[in-house]
Amino acid sequence: METRILGTDLKVSAIGLGCMGMSHAYGPAADKKEMTRLLAQAVEKGYTFFDTAEVYGTPENPHDNEELLGEALDRADTGNQEIREADRECSGGRGTPDSEGSRGFG
């Protein structure tokens, strides 16, 4: 997978994966097991940039989407890839926000 530099030194995959539709916006939330598999496959294909936000959650659990991504990435074989999460509020998930407002996994 090709990479791009965001800002001055944040290296991410040229193609990112938006996670909103996994738990919000396009009808009922997708099956979590299926979305976990999809996220693992994305990592295997070289995706290192994932977009989530608190607003992508559900009324019952505003952090649902962030938790789904965090759990899936915890289980995924990231090898030596550094996974980045674009999170508008930098809430939920694990990792420490960097100066670019994203979190590192891996």
Active-site choice (29, 56, 68, 69):
56
Q: Residue 26 catalytic?
A: no
CB under 8 A, 24+ apart: contacts of 30-39? 32/68, 35/68, 35/72, 36/68, 36/71, 36/72, 36/75, 39/68, 39/69, 39/72, 39/73, 39/76
Instruction: Cite the active site residues.
Output: 56
